[in-house]
Amino acid sequence: MLSGNVDPGLYQPSALSTEELAAGKVLLCCATALGDVEIEYESAAAPSAVREYSARVVNMEKLTHDVMRVMLKLPHGQQISFKAGQYINIILDDGQRRAFSFANPPHLPDLIELQIRLMPGGRYTTHVFEHMKEDDAVQFEGPLGDFSLRESERPIVFVAGATGFAPVKSMVEDAFHRGLKRPIYLYWGVRQLADLYLPDLPQRWARDHANFHFIPVLSDAAPDDHWTGRTGLVHEAILEDFPDLGGHEIYACGSVKMVEAIFPTLKSQGAEEGMCFSDAFTISARSMAFQPKQQAGGK
Ligand SMILES: Cc1cc2nc3c(=O)[nH]c(=O)nc-3n(C[C@H](O)[C@H](O)[C@H](O)COP(=O)(O)OP(=O)(O)OC[C@H]3O[C@@H](n4cnc5c(N)ncnc54)[C@H](O)[C@@H]3O)c2cc1C
């Protein structure tokens, strides 16, 4: 408990020692608030309430050849509270689920922003690109996942592959909103220049926030790109820039292939086991709800 007073109620001393009580710990199943209280909790200890929602598409914008920004609105001023880095499961007609991350930060909950990448031959993403239109209804459940910023003072290294930028955008905007002054490095790895589908946004963040650094990395730049920036695989750029990754927190989001490739090498250069976090964008199992493949320690 950060502030305020509670009556701890009747509880077993083995569940809460005198020292823990004195340190401000509270058993919320027994305690009664005696006024306004401010609490801090560990996300793993408090699963968020997952609910089903029905939203409307209020805006669609093609950000590049294969990424669509879809804005959803809940009815009657309804809002969903979530943590930056979490995602929703879109529920298809036959109950199949497709996972997409919140790209908007939690403090701007009026519209849910999704950045949806077309998967060639993919059922739902093809629907989004070919048939979805404004005012369509979208069923989803959420919020889901515990890919979110840990509270610490460590420098943060974000690694985004393609639309892995979506949850990172939410987390970075949330960090700015909360006034975090930790150094933040964003490595956004894509194939070609056109795949950096919101190029101005992280550049603007870098201009506006001295603690934020943006490093786009192209793995297969086209001649027409006239690219003079970083090239190669995104984790190679990180390895070049950080001779020792000890003391950093690393958050990676993108394809399973990218996420699986990067952590072993980053760990061989000092990244600590419990300081690497990820959500890998697995594709859907044919008839099951999604389970994100969680890669690294601390989740
Ligand atoms: C936690 C999480 C968050 C995510 N967030 C985002 C996000 O913010 N933005 C985003 O763009 N993506 C995100 N993804 C990935 C996204 O969920 C998938 O790209 C999406 O579900 C694909 O749906 P689909 O119906 O179009 O493709 P599916 O129909 O599920 O097919 C996916 C791919 O598999 C291929 N395929 C289909 N059937 C078969 C088969 N029988 N055998 C082999 N291959 C087949 C398809 O050709 C296609 O390439 C996230 C994933 C997770 C787990």
More confident residue, 298 or 124: 124
**Per residue in 163-195, pLDDT tens?**
999 999 999 999 999 999 999 999 999 999 999
CA distances from 7 to 4, 25, 27, 159, 247 (A): 11, 12, 10, 44, 39
Q: Work out how many domains the chain is built from and give that number.
A: 3
Cβ of 121 below 6 Å from ligand 1: yes
Cβ of 289 below 6 Å from ligand 1: no
Parent domain of 250: 156-281
Q: What is the b/e burial string over 68-84, where b = at least 16 CB atoms within 10 angstroms of the residue's CB?
A: bbbbbbbeeeeebebbb
Are 162 and 234 within one domain? Answer: yes
CB 230 within 8 A of CB 215: yes
Are 74 and 167 within one domain? Answer: no
**Per residue in 94-147, pLDDT tens?**
999 999 999 999 999 999 999 999 999 999 999 999 999 999 999 999 999 989
- What's the whole-model pTM score? 0.82
Ligand 1 atom closest to residue 291's alpha carbon, by position in its atom list: 53
Are 205 and 272 within one domain? Answer: yes
Are 202 and 95 within one domain? Answer: no
Ligand 1 atom closest to residue 124's alpha carbon, by position in its atom list: 25
Domain contains 288? no
Domain contains 289? no
First to last CA, the chain: 23
Cβ of 230 below 6 Å from ligand 1: no
Ligand 1 atom closest to residue 114's alpha carbon, by position in its atom list: 8
Instruction: Calculate how far, in angstroms, residue 218's C-alpha sits from the geometric centre of ligand 1.
Output: 23
Are 258 and 163 within one domain? Answer: yes
CB 263 within 8 A of CB 252: yes
Are 92 and 113 within one domain? Answer: yes
Domain contains 61? yes
Domain contains 183? yes
Q: What is the mean pLDDT of residues 23-40?
A: 85
pLDDT at 22: 81
Are 169 and 271 within one domain? Answer: yes
Are 3 and 29 within one domain? Answer: yes
Are 160 and 212 within one domain? Answer: yes
